[in-house]
Amino acid sequence: MSWCGWVPVVLMVLAWLGAPALAQTMVQGKGRYTGLPIPRFASLRSDRVNLRVGPGGRYPIKWELHRRGLPVEIVQEYGVWRAVRLHDGADGWIHAALLSGHRTFIVEGATRPLEERASSTASLVARLEAGVIGRILGCAEGSLWCRVSVHGHRGYLRRNDFWGTFKGEAVHEW
């Protein structure tokens, strides 16, 4: 058998031994365990979530997150563990049971206007401070605006004003 024939065997052994970074490279663009797109956005299901340095309960806790609904970008899967990136660049592993598929966002930068329509000349619904978390109701593919909900207020927010979607990504309401 040539060395090319051994590559799948070596990758399977590494995955079995617990080498998540290398094992994940076997399937690019889709999660190895869920078949869902990688990367993708999710949110925290709980008010208390441990962000660990590795994919397992025995790995040390890097951060304890206390913001239910906080958006996270899933960048890798390993069994029931998800490698995530936060809006501030921090990263780590979270158990999948502590994540939700609900799409949320976090306001970045300065205070941002929540508009009645997808226009900077529309009536103001609210002003959103940096760090505010809300729910994404929908974004048209390629649109600069997304329809969102924050504490009972609905309106439109420019994509550049928040973190929680990929550039030009279509997001559909649940």
pLDDT in tens, 14-73: 343 444 443 343 345 999 899 999 999 999 999 999 999 999 999 999 999 999 999 999
CB atoms within 10 A of CB 58: 6
State residue 128 phi and psi, 5-degree precision. Answer: -105, 120
**3-102 placed in CATH 3.40.50.300:** no
* Topology match between the domains 3-102 and 105-163: yes
Two tokens, residue 54 = 């590795």
Residue 59 pairs in a beta bridge with none
Average pLDDT over the chain reads 87
Distance, CA of 20 to CA of 77 (rounded, Å): 8
What pLDDT band is residue 83 in, cutting at 50, 70 and 90? very high
The identity of residue 142, as a single letter, is G
What pLDDT band is residue 8 in, cutting at 50, 70 and 90? very low
Sequence ranges of the domains in the chain: 3-102, 105-163
What pLDDT band is residue 143 in, cutting at 50, 70 and 90? very high
To the nearest 10°, the Cα dihedral for 145, 164, 103, 63? -160
Distance, CA of 21 to CA of 131 (rounded, Å): 31
Q: Is 43 helix (H, G, I), strand (E, B) or coil?
A: strand
Q: What is the mean pLDDT of residues 89-110?
A: 97
Q: For residue 174, what pLDDT is reported?
A: 59
What pLDDT band is residue 173 in, cutting at 50, 70 and 90? confident
Q: Which CATH architecture has domain 105-163?
A: Roll (2.30)
pTM for this entry: 0.82
Distance, CA of 27 to CA of 15 (rounded, Å): 12
Has residue 88 got a pLDDT over 50?
yes
Give yes or no for a cis peptide into 71 (omega within 30° of 0).
no
